[in-house]
């Protein structure tokens, strides 16, 4: 598809494989230039956005090349959208927890260098002057600390606001299940509108406020006359062929990407006794002569430093008959005896079929990850199910690399887990584009 002058122009930064950019394209914008650090992900981007100039490398080194390529491709047009999704690992709850532990132990600095990458976006904004700038990240981006140009600590969102002179900004945490995505995924969406564009919006609508840039939810946990019910896991994947992770034969189907890793006998035993919405850490006695269901459940407690950690004394043997419980366990190297496995209490947990899935992550194929056990079958999600729940399947997308080979499973997991569900993001972009009066003539015919 060649770039058309009746469509919006866009630049994508920290693009990964381009799954989030599907929303841009569907809402009416063509990505002219993209930047991604990881070559394999950039290769997938180039396959799915063949008309984009994909610049591979560190944004800290590629600023001039990005500007040159954008200006060359714009010709006589203006840049409409800059879309940036900087790395979240240093901002996420898991990332922040590791960071704070490292700081306490004297092993790490307070500032995670990955968070500084977002500070390289404002110089590009001030040079290219896009009408709209959209950042997408984890909710913890609000409160993340970075260093400003003088080396002072400052909250990242304040840094962006101060650096992008001539822009109005607003941010809000969005639950993507509220936009019909069959997945619970909360993301911080930050929108900056250039001052002249903002003025035209106000002139057109005297009651305009920046909050109108966020669309009203189309779905809700409790449906009403204006909102449908959240889309559930069962609605999306229950009709697919059954799989089981006990053997290779039972773990595969004829549907492309609908297969799962085979589990060892021990792990399969744990999850096969895990009830709906429960964790294997809380499994009860399966001895047919006992079946005691009052064994102490797993949980967390705060240590002397105030850190919330999983308990280490959760029983592994039935407190009534002393049979081994089907709970995740490992050999203690110091004693040679079984102990409860270390991990989050949400690990080895079965998801609920009557609710949206938990966030699709890069660990989607591992039952030990957060709420990743299939609602009724003894396995993790298949890649195909993850594509459905992430709404990638709503769009035209190829997993074939430029060399003609199919992307490896790890690249697929990373591409899904580190992207945002495009169906929900498309709803947001369509709302923004409707209100952008500078481009309304281009967009209205396609989004009305």
Give the percent of the chain with pLDDT over 70: 89
Of the pLDDT bands very low, low, confident and very high (cuts 50, 70, 90), residue 441 is very low
User: At residue 422, does pLDDT exceed 80?
Assistant: yes
Task: Please check the confidence at residue 384 and state whether its pLDDT lies above 90.
Answer: yes
| Band of residue 94 on the pLDDT scale cut at 50, 70, 90 | very low
Which position has the token pair 């250039």? 194
Express each pLDDT in 137-178 by its tens digit: 988 888 888 888 888 889 999 999 999 999 999 999 999 999
Highest mean pLDDT pick, 110-124, 180-194, 433-447: 180-194
DSSP 259: B
* Residue with the larger pLDDT of the pair 101 and 118: 118
Q: How far, in Å, CA of 334 to CA of 118, rounded?
A: 45
Which of 49-63, 93-107, 265-279, 291-305 has the lowest average pLDDT? Answer: 93-107
β-strand pairing of 186-194 with 132-137: antiparallel
Q: What is the b/e burial string over 339-373, where b = at least 16 CB atoms within 10 angstroms of the residue's CB? A: bbbebbbebbbbbbbebbbbbbbeebbbbbbbbbb
Q: What is the mean pLDDT of the chain?
A: 89
How many CA atoms does the CB half-sphere of 234 hold within 13 Å?
8
Residue 100 has pLDDT above 60, yes or no: no
Task: Map residue 171 onto helix, strand or coil.
Answer: strand
Give pLDDT, residue 408.
Answer: 97
Residue 250 confidence (pLDDT) above 50: yes
- Please state whether beta strands 81-84 and 228-229 pair in parallel, antiparallel, or not at all (unpaired): unpaired
Lowest-confidence range among 109-113, 125-129, 137-141, 309-313? 109-113
In the block, tokens 């940036």 appear at 84
> What CATH architecture does domain 8-227+420-447 belong to?
3-Layer(aba) Sandwich (3.40)
Q: Are 437 and 212 in contact (CB under 8 A)?
A: no
Residue with tokens 């110091």: 334
Question: Model confidence over 200-235: pLDDT tens digits?
Answer: 888 888 888 999 999 999 999 999 999 999 999 999
The reported pLDDT for the residue numbered 275 is: 94
CA–CA gap between residue 24 and residue 256 (Å, rounded) = 27
The residue whose two tokens read 């950039």 is 42
Task: Give the pLDDT score at 447.
Answer: 41
| Rounded-to-integer distance, Cα 439 and Cα 373, Å | 45
**Is residue 228 a contact partner of residue 219, using CB atoms and an 8 Å limit?**
yes
Question: Which residue from 202, 203, 115, 127 is spatially nearest to 159, judged by alpha carbons?
Answer: 115
Residue 307 has pLDDT above 90, yes or no: no
Residue 22 pLDDT greater than 60, yes or no? yes
Euclidean distance between the first and the last CA atom of the chain, given in angstroms as a whole number? 22
R_g (Cα) of the chain, nearest Å: 24
pLDDT number for residue 5? 63
Segment 38-47 shows an average pLDDT of: 98
Asked if the model's pLDDT at residue 343 lies above 80, the reply is no
Q: Where are the domains of the chain?
A: 8-227+420-447, 241-381
For 130-166, strand residue ranges (E) read 132-137, 145-147, 153-155
- In this prediction, residues 259-263 reach a mean pLDDT of 97
How are strands ordered across the β-sheet holding 186-194? 53-56, 29-36, 8-13, 81-84, 132-137, 186-194, 167-175
Distance between CA atoms of 414 and 364, rounded to whole angstroms? 9
pLDDT at 112 over 90: no
CA 363 to chain centre: 12
The label of the residue with tokens 């949400």 reads 346
Tell me how far CA of residue 217 lies from CA of 349, 391, 403, in angstroms.
29, 17, 41
Among candidate residues 411, 414, 364, 405, the one with its CA nearest the CA of residue 386 = 364
How do residues 271-291 score in pLDDT, each as one tens digit? Answer: 999 999 999 999 999 999 999
For CA atoms 189, 195, 197, 202, the dihedral sign is positive
pLDDT score of 1 more than 80: no
Averaged pLDDT for residues 333-349: 87
Q: What is the pLDDT of residue 444?
A: 37
In 3D, which of 108, 101, 115, 100 has the Cα closest to residue 14? 115
């Amino acid at each position: 598809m060649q770039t058309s002058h009746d469509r919006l122009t866009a630049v994508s930064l920290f693009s990964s494989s381009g799954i989030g950019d599907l929303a841009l394209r569907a809402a009416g914008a063509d990505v002219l230039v993209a930047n991604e650090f990881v070559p394999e992900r950039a290769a997938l981007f180039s396959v799915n956005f063949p008309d984009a100039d994909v610049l591979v490398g560190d944004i800290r080194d590629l600023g001039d090349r990005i500007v040159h390529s954008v200006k060359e491709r714009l010709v006589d047009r203006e840049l409409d959208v800059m879309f940036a999704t900087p790395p979240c690992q240093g901002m996420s709850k898991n990332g922040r927890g590791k960071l704070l532990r490292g700081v306490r132990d004297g092993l790490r600095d307070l500032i995670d260098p990955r968070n500084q990458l977002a500070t390289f976006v404002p110089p590009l904004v001030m040079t290219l002057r896009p009408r709209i700038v959209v950042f997408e990240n984890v909710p913890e981006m609000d409160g993340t600390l970075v260093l400003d140009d003088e080396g002072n600590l400052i909250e990242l969102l304040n840094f962006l606001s101060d650096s992008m002179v001539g822009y109005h900004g607003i941010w809000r945490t969005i639950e993507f299940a509220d936009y019909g995505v069959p997945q619970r995924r909360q993301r911080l969406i930050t929108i900056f509108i250039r001052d002249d564009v903002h003025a035209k919006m106000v002139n057109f609508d005297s009651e305009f406020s920046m909050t109108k840039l966020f669309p009203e939810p189309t779905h809700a946990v409790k449906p009403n006359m204006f909102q449908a019910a959240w889309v559930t896991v069962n609605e999306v994947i229950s009709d697919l062929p059954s799989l089981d992770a006990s053997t290779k034969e039972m773990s595969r189907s004829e549907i492309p990407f609908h297969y799962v890793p085979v589990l060892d006998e021990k792990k399969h035993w744990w999850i096969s006794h895990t009830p709906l919405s429960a964790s294997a850490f809380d499994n009860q006695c399966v001895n047919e002569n006992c079946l005691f269901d009052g064994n102490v459940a797993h949980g967390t407690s705060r240590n002397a430093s105030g850190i919330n950690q999983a308990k280490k004394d959760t029983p592994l043997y039935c407190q009534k008959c002393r049979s081994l419980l089907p709970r995740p366990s490992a050999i203690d190297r110091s004693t040679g005896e079984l102990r409860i496995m270390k991990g989050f209490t949400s690990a080895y947990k079965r998801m609920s079929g009557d609710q949206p899935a938990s966030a699709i992550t890069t660990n989607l194929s591992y039952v030990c990850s957060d709420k990743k056990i299939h609602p009724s079958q003894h396995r993790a999600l298949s890649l195909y199910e993850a594509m459905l729940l992430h709404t990638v399947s709503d769009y035209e997308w190829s997993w074939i690399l430029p060399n003609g080979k199919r992307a490896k499973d790890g690249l697929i997991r990373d591409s899904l887990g580190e992207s945002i569900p495009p169906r929900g993001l498309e709803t947001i972009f369509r709302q923004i584009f409707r209100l952008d009066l500078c481009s309304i003539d281009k967009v209205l015919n396609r989004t009305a």
